[in-house]
Chain A
């Protein structure tokens, strides 16, 4: 997200949602921190969760703006990231036509005729990397390349600053996997749009 005129309010609202234990709130925090500390924008993260520590519905709402943020909650997100079917179903009917929908394709099956979306097997990639718990970081990489809501550098620095000491490099690798997966999808779509067919690079 780039800064435009001083007084023009550029506001983006992101909801990341899934189950407790998937690192949903950490993902929101990494995104919010990247915007606030790396890209020098205003950002507010609010979280909601149930009494359970794992397995319950969980969501992180991040508002990123060039102006001070008064009201911190989101009703219709610009970007919706879903890491569970129940989370997707909760928000599916609240989307705007231009809401960017990003899903973990193994965990979420979009409703027929739901419109465009971007899919990544984040949890499966994390398992291949040997750490299922890094699915959230892969998703952050995917969100960063697809939406450009935060800069790549800000996202990387935020991850380094947010994950447990000693796991920084493994997490950066996970971020790169998600980021590159997103770039490949965008490139494939670009080619398709310009009339090229055939294998996606």
Chain B
């Protein structure tokens, strides 16, 4: 048996680093369907999982791929799938099933330009609102945005930890540029990697309630075959998991699946500040566009413009409080993202009309150049 954790220095693409992060987190099941630019994740998992006693299945499509990782999660394994735009659309229904059945799993979307087939080999960040609201009904979700191969390695571990802790599908919103970018990736020793696993149930197996929240608002989760009586359904259900078609049951279930996220925002949300201490203009960005923004902030500073960057590592739940506080001390915000304005809308909402919030965006297919952001920063100080 080979090692799950490839400790050492490597030069890897973001896609391969993502697969290695999953293995380091303890992922033992990958169900997927190949699609550019996410195929390399499946490819790596298909080579590596059998080496360490795990299972890789290529399913008939992305609907089935998503279903397979929910099933394998209820069998007690840590599970993942990876896709891009068209496949992400197909996964939406079963992502909702994962949310309502409180099933831990990780879904990677290596974003490419859409709509539809779009530009298969070229990057975008235009599925950000789909990540938030793409499945039907009202729910909370966790989504992370990586900016480099090294970061996606750690974020994938983090995604598994959050999904296990909160019993929820966690989305990694990568993109073609990060997925196909190679950089040094340092993989630490196995003992230095923190992994979290779902809480195991205790007590009488015949009286166990798989949806009765524990102290942190999350219910312990048994695995199939352990002898607990469980019923799992997409219908509105009570703490036993039995369907109950009432407004009261709906309210109670919704309070549980949204509350466990809303009450733990401090634990879930991570952002990073760069040169914001004395900044008058804040750039808000995430994923690969945050690299453009870093370069632009440095250049603007050289020109004497007091610019800084707030990098969103967690995009959903949205870092509302961080944006609100920032809006009280800067004069303007510029959102940088490879779409025509998605996260920008959230930033505007949180800024609440207090300061102007503008977009440096792009229809997709390529990275945003630092020059465009610098031009917007210059415009901001001159106006």
- 8 Å CB contact of B298 from A47, A70, A158: A70
Q: Write out the residue numbers on chain A whose beta carbons fall within 8 Å of the beta carbon of B181.
A: 44-46, 72
Knowing A44-B181, A45-B181, A45-B183 are in contact, say whether A70-B9 is a contact too (CB < 8 A): no
Q: Please, how many angstroms separate the alpha-carbon atoms of A71 and B367 in the complex?
A: 9
Binary A-proximity of B169-183 (CB < 8 A = 1, otherwise 0): 000000001001111
Is A115 interfacial (CB-CB < 8 Å)?
Answer: no
Knowing A46-B177, A50-B121, A71-B370 are in contact, say whether A37-B184 is a contact too (CB < 8 A): yes
Is B76 interfacial (CB-CB < 8 Å)?
Answer: no
Interface residues of B (CB under 8 A from A): 9-11, 36, 120-122, 177, 180-184, 291-292, 294-295, 298, 367, 369-370
Q: Is the Cβ of B121 less than 8 Å from the Cβ of A44?
A: no
| A73 CB, min distance to chain B CBs, angstroms | 6
Q: Write out the residue numbers on chain B whose beta carbons fall within 8 Å of the beta carbon of A70.
A: 291-292, 294-295, 298, 370
Q: Is the Cβ of A43 less than 8 Å from the Cβ of B295?
A: no
27 A–B contacts, CB within 8 A, in A order? A28-B182, A29-B11, A29-B182, A32-B11, A32-B183, A36-B9, A36-B183, A37-B9, A42-B184, A43-B11, A43-B183, A44-B182, A44-B183, A46-B177, A46-B180, A47-B180, A49-B121, A69-B183, A70-B295, A70-B370, A71-B369, A71-B370, A72-B291, A72-B367, A73-B367, A73-B369, A158-B11
Q: Please, which residue of chain A has its CB at the minimum distance from the CB of B185?
A: A36
Q: Please, which residue of chain A has its CB at the minimum distance from the CB of B298?
A: A70
Is A48 interfacial (CB-CB < 8 Å)?
Answer: yes
| B310 CB, min distance to chain A CBs, angstroms | 16
Q: Is the Cβ of A72 less than 8 Å from the Cβ of B294?
A: no
Closest CB pairs A-B (n = 6): A33-B11, A70-B295, A45-B182, A71-B295, A70-B294, A36-B184
Q: Please, how many angstroms separate the alpha-carbon atoms of A43 and B122 in the complex?
A: 21
Q: Which of A53-95 contact B (CB under 8 A)?
A: 69-73
Interface residues of A (CB under 8 A from B): 28-29, 32-33, 36-37, 42-51, 69-73, 158
| B346 CB, min distance to chain A CBs, angstroms | 24
Q: Write out the residue numbers on chain B whose beta carbons fall within 8 Å of the beta carbon of A45.
A: 181-183
Q: Please, how many angstroms separate the alpha-carbon atoms of A37 and B11 in the complex?
A: 7
Q: Please, how many angstroms separate the alpha-carbon atoms of A73 and B178 in the complex?
A: 12
Interface of A (DSSP majority class): mixed
Q: Please, which residue of chain B has its CB at the minimum distance from the CB of A161?
A: B11
Q: Please, how many angstroms separate the alpha-carbon atoms of A28 and B11 in the complex?
A: 11
Interface of B (DSSP majority class): mixed
Q: Please, how many angstroms separate the alpha-carbon atoms of A28 and B242 in the complex?
A: 56
Q: Write out the residue numbers on chain B whose beta carbons fall within 8 Å of the beta carbon of A37.
A: 9-11, 184
Q: Write out the residue numbers on chain B whose beta carbons fall within 8 Å of the beta carbon of A51.
A: 36, 120-121
| B51 CB, min distance to chain A CBs, angstroms | 15
- 8 Å CB contact of B121 from A42, A48, A73: A48
Among B120, B291, B294, B367, max chain A CB count under 10 A is at B291
Q: Write out the residue numbers on chain A whose beta carbons fall within 8 Å of the beta carbon of B120.
A: 51
| B290 CB, min distance to chain A CBs, angstroms | 9
Q: Is the Cβ of A32 less than 8 Å from the Cβ of B298?
A: no
Q: Please, which residue of chain B has its CB at the minimum distance from the CB of A45?
A: B182
Q: Write out the residue numbers on chain A whose beta carbons fall within 8 Å of the beta carbon of B121.
A: 48-51
Q: Please, how many angstroms separate the alpha-carbon atoms of A32 and B185 in the complex?
A: 12
Q: Please, which residue of chain A has its CB at the minimum distance from the CB of B11?
A: A33
Among B11, B120, B121, max chain A CB count under 10 A is at B11
Q: Write out the residue numbers on chain A whose beta carbons fall within 8 Å of the beta carbon of B291.
A: 70-72
Q: Please, which residue of chain A has its CB at the minimum distance from the CB of B8?
A: A37
Among B122, B183, B294, B370, max chain A CB count under 10 A is at B183
Q: Is the Cβ of B292 less than 8 Å from the Cβ of A71?
A: yes
| B299 CB, min distance to chain A CBs, angstroms | 10
Q: Write out the residue numbers on chain B whose beta carbons fall within 8 Å of the beta carbon of A50.
A: 121
Q: Please, which residue of chain A has its CB at the minimum distance from the CB of B36?
A: A51
Q: Please, how many angstroms separate the alpha-carbon atoms of A73 and B177 in the complex?
A: 10
Q: Please, which residue of chain B has its CB at the minimum distance from the CB of A41?
A: B184
Q: Please, how many angstroms separate the alpha-carbon atoms of A150 and B58 in the complex?
A: 40
Knowing A37-B11, A73-B367 are in contact, say whether A32-B182 is a contact too (CB < 8 A): yes
Q: Please, how many angstroms separate the alpha-carbon atoms of A64 and B367 in the complex?
A: 19
Q: Write out the residue numbers on chain B whose beta carbons fall within 8 Å of the beta carbon of A29.
A: 11, 182
Q: Please, how many angstroms separate the alpha-carbon atoms of A73 and B291 in the complex?
A: 11
Q: Write out the residue numbers on chain B whose beta carbons fall within 8 Å of the beta carbon of A73.
A: 367, 369
Q: Write out the residue numbers on chain A whose beta carbons fall within 8 Å of the beta carbon of B177.
A: 46, 72
| A67 CB, min distance to chain B CBs, angstroms | 10
Q: Please, which residue of chain A has its CB at the minimum distance from the CB of B184?
A: A36
Q: Please, which residue of chain B has its CB at the minimum distance from the CB of A158?
A: B11
Q: Write out the residue numbers on chain B whose beta carbons fall within 8 Å of the beta carbon of A69.
A: 183
Q: Please, how many angstroms separate the alpha-carbon atoms of A70 and B290 in the complex?
A: 9
Q: Write out the residue numbers on chain B whose beta carbons fall within 8 Å of the beta carbon of A33.
A: 11, 182
Q: Please, how many angstroms separate the alpha-carbon atoms of A48 and B366 in the complex?
A: 10
Q: Please, which residue of chain A has its CB at the minimum distance from the CB of B9?
A: A37
Q: Please, how many angstroms separate the alpha-carbon atoms of A48 and B298 in the complex?
A: 27
Q: Write out the residue numbers on chain B whose beta carbons fall within 8 Å of the beta carbon of A46.
A: 177, 180-181
Q: Please, how many angstroms separate the alpha-carbon atoms of A43 and B184 in the complex?
A: 7
